[in-house]
Structure 1
């Protein structure tokens, strides 16, 4: 087999490996479960199967025996709760950043939209919906209540279907809290006060007054319930599912991991249970999060559950069991975060509202030690420039200045390698087909001239973690979502929408649709510019001696062009800027050492070799 066929087979094998690795790292998104056809009755049945926590007090003379509410008991089938949630009134939520409603059935926070965020860039696009009530597709809500202990029954405490009486007037606003009451008819009067700030934080205070002649024991809890998987999910490089902070330890559990808990018998039913002195627990999506945050400094129990029969994912924050004496009252307060994972907002809650490590709800990834400072710098540059794209360009300049000493040594080494090219060509002629002799004499030449051929790889090796860190920043931080640059780039977190297949919009037909073979080949102006800058940068480097390596390096810019063509535009912009600055740096350093590269001469030679090969 001749060398040409060997090279062709090798190139084909390498291309297959690249594609295989690509699909392993970035597999197609899961098709969301179609819940739209699920009947309302079935959704309501799912709500009835939501499991309530059990009071877990140690048995004492006053506490009595612990009672456990079953799944059917959790429905709270009191006489007042025969109507469905759709038939009952709601209380409007209206804040600078949120709109939605609270159902009087169960007192659920079950309808919430984010005023500052739209689903798409279209003018008539609806607002992003975070929470949805029972009976709607993808039901997702927050529920509070009490679990009975001692001699109390589940009907004696508020449950998922308890119908509350609204004692306050008007909508829930930052200046007007919501107050609800419920009398169990047996001497216990419950109150619930819900307030909200100007951002995304609710405060829920549950109270009970005991007018009976005996002490009562019960356990306050908060609960986040999600029916089925979220309709839109990210890729494998992003965590979505449970995120919880317990005593300074961050745990991330995917939805697949939650499904394993149904087979783990623990107290109160199949669940994962963690007792903590401080922390929080919630569901996180790519940009949004709903979290239960117990009162600072007070212990709580974090519980993760999955109910297979109704496909319900459930998180609980159980507060310490309370014993309320006759004639006495008791209160339990906790908070709910429901909104966008904005760095400044999360940091404010962390530093000013004592929510431990709240900024770590953003998935910073393995390179968090690079991701966090890169984001901080990008955030500050964005504030200064007012444009995320310009901020990315400025970020590259700062990073290039930081690694300049290392880069300088590397580029000097490349210039020296370029200087040795005539001598290396002479070695090739003398060695002929004896590759072992050629390798030995080349190493001797490097040693005599004090040149390190591997030095040119150092900037690339240093750049790899920075590349992945910046990709993570652009992919997960909401500040880059729908952030415009200039011209046709209206969202730097999305791929370049233009396509060479319709001459970038000149021809009167759209680019190929997503998830098709042609769409994979369809790339925009930015990726093409990326390939050109990589190719120009490559022309400054000495060509490998081995023919196969030379061929691989020649194809690399164009392979990367298609690989990165469907990445976020902000990342491609970073790479174009980095390549351009690297080209200028290397050109100037080589010129200062008396070896100005003949770029256009190399380009003409490349075209001539291409024509000769074609003939």
Structure 2
């Protein structure tokens, strides 16, 4: 009766895990499907007035509402007219500078496409003010008693100017009161733009101005933010990266003043970021919510006095683009503090980054990240092969002392503490380590978690194909059993999105368990029988690359077990006998 009760409990817990998994993931990985509270502050000029709750954030980020996407395409066609713009052409970025306001509001990444379709065009990073995907950078000054340029100021540029790594561009505006303002933009081969703000005072009296740099963006294009992957405002202050606050915190507070000297400040999505890197005399920074889902990252400099006949220049660098690990590390080596840590690797970055490095090295060799994941699995299993041999030796030793264990259990069945003492004494005398069988599993957990983080975070893995129907290793298997592998026009919920890879995972795990010794406990037998299929449901929503790793690991484990059984036939005979004994006992129990 106890066994039946335990079996029913195990089945109920399994069902709860399977059907509760999707709910739990939505709780831990919210998709912001609830409407956001309305901000009390009035909307800034040029802010988007569409419903900020339309569409749900995704891992990719970007507009998800069809109406917003159509409006964005229409607005871009109008806003990006060549008239009144200076073209940007660099290996990493393309786009243009808006002469009205001297805004950097049109940037796309040349090395990354918008979707997995290679013909989908470059992924857009910045969009002009007023478009649904509004995101731009603005440089300026504040002060009193001075005629200053603003967002409506039309700047002058040299005829035929184009911003390239070889040709900086200088924009000029004259106040009409003796001051000349200039902004000189320079761009490198990747994603870094350097801006020098200069004010020259030809008036007879001194002036005081405060240089300011600002990022303006909507949260409608934000990627999904989770407890393990931050998306939203962030920065580095006093040499330490802070992945906070989130958009909700800024919305509630209206203004969040950052503590410490800003090394850089801005916004991050999972794959992209835009940050301002101050030059000298930075005073502070903050984040602001100005309504309608629009947020600002502000960078303030110390006010400066400009004497007659003098000029003052302030330098600010802007990073806007993909969070490519090698590029970020190179910028950090060049002096941008903690730039390589702008990727949210978490506490285990010391292990995750080497795994990523190895994966990239394998990719350079084979030219396919799916094949690189398989090779990574082979390397990991090869390193752990000696451990597996010791595991099998320990398993054989454990089975050899089972008769002695049963004697101790009978002798001390009323004294649990004494039984534990005698059991540990027996282990020492026989040279048996009962935890040796768990060691390979524990050793694989860090590798599995590191690969999960790499597939989730690394833009280098984004849209990387493997073979056949797997066009993106960082996304779940796109073909599902319930929609007849894409023939029916609907997407099953996460816990029922069973694809070919999930089926292979369950099947290979079942084969692996079939080679293990049978448990004498009927309840444990049932749990092990359910486990492969339960994991099939649990793992189905994860990245395809992660399932490929696990399937390959299962196949290698099966091959390894068969090899070791061949080398230790006495252990194979022992396992077969135990299975036969357990099967006979089960028949007698019925």
Fold shared by both chains (TM-score > 0.5) = yes
Partner of residue 335 from structure 2, selected from 351, 354, 371: 354
Aligned structure 1 segments of 4 or more residues deviating by more than 6 angstroms: 32-35, 84-88, 424-431, 433-437, 439-445, 598-609
Structure 2 residue matching 1:121: 3-state secondary structure: coil
Number of the residue aligned with 2:490: 513
My pick for the range that moved more, 162-171 or 135-144, is 162-171
The answer as to 2:133 corresponding to 1:133 is no
Residues 484/607 of structure 1: CA separation in 2 closer, same or farther (3 Å cut) = farther
Q: 2-side partners of 1:376 and 1:26: how far apart?
A: 31
**Does residue 1:478 correspond to 2:459, yes or no?**
yes
d(CA) in 1 for partners of 2:581 and 2:465?
38
Report what 2:74 is aligned to. none
Q: Which residue of structure 2 lines up, in the alignment, with residue 376 of structure 1?
A: 357
Q: 1:323: which partner in 2?
A: 305
Tell me if structure 2 keeps the 8 A contact 1:110–1:132.
yes
Shift of 1:325: 0.9
In the alignment of these two chains, the number of paired residues is 551
In 2, distance between residues paired with 1:481 and 1:338?
Answer: 18
Alignment of 1:188-199 (within 5 A): 188-199=179-190
C-alpha separation in 2, matches of 1:226 and 1:345? 24
Work out which of the residue numbers 268, 289, 301 in structure 1 matches 2:273.
289
The residue that corresponds to 1:543 in the other structure is: 518
CA distance in 1, matches of 2:296, 2:129: 14
Cα deviation 1:2-39 (Å, max 9, x = unaligned) = 6324411332034314654664345465257999xxxx
Alignment of 1:425-504 (within 5 A): 449-501=430-482
TM-score normalized with structure 1 length = 0.79
Inter-partner Cα distance in structure 2 for 1:598 and 1:536: 18
Partner of 2:85: 90
Secondary structure (helix, strand or coil) at the match of 1:137 reads: coil
Q: Secondary structure at the match of 1:106?
A: coil
Alignment of 1:51-200 (within 5 A): 89-148=84-143, 151-153=144-146, 156-200=147-191
Name the structure 2 match of 1:56: none
TM-score with structure 2 setting the length: 0.82
Partner of residue 256, structure 1: 248
Query: RMSD in angstroms over aligned alpha carbons?
Result: 3.8
CA–CA separation in structure 1 for the residues paired with 2:200 and 2:242: 37
User: Shift in Å at residue 545 of structure 1?
Assistant: 3.8
Equivalent residue runs for 1:572-591 within 5 Å: 572-591=547-566
Q: Alpha-carbon deviations, 1:83-119, whole Å to 9, x = none?
A: x988982222222332222212211111222222222
Preserved CA contact (<8 Å) 1:412 1:589: no
Q: Which residue of 1 aligns with 2:259?
A: 274
Would you say 1:338 and 2:320 are equivalent positions? yes
Whether the aligned pair in 2 keeps the contact of 1:101 and 1:111 (CA below 8 Å) is yes
Between 172-181 and 303-312, the greater mean CA deviation after superposition:
303-312
Task: Provide the residue aligned with 1:46 in structure 2.
Answer: 47
Q: Which residue of 1 aligns with 2:70?
A: none
Return the alpha-carbon distance in structure 1 between the equivalents of residues 554 and 401 of structure 2. 25
Distance 1:32 1:426, change over 3 A: closer
Contact 1:228–1:312, Cα closer than 8 Å, also in 2: yes
Aligned to 1:265: none
Give the Cα separation in 1 of the matches to 2:153 and 2:239. Answer: 36
User: In 1, are the aligned partners of 2:3 and 2:523 still within 8 Å (CA)?
Assistant: no
Q: Tell me: higher relative CO, structure 1 or 2? Use CA pairs within 8 A at least 6 residues apart.
A: 2
Alpha-carbon distance, 1:319 to partner: 2.7
Aligned counterparts of 1:538 and 1:602: Cα–Cα separation in 2: 16
Measure, in 2, the Cα distance between the counterparts of 1:336 and 1:122.
29
Q: 2:205 aligns with which of 211, 214, 220?
A: 214
Partners of 1:415 and 1:593 within 8 A in 2: no
Aligned to 1:30: 31
5+ residue gaps, structure 2, are 37-41, 50-77
CA gap 1:558/1:424 in 2 versus in 1, 3 angstroms:
farther
* Matched position secondary structure for 1:30: coil
Note the C-alpha offset of 1:312.
2.5
> Which residue is 1:77 aligned to?
none
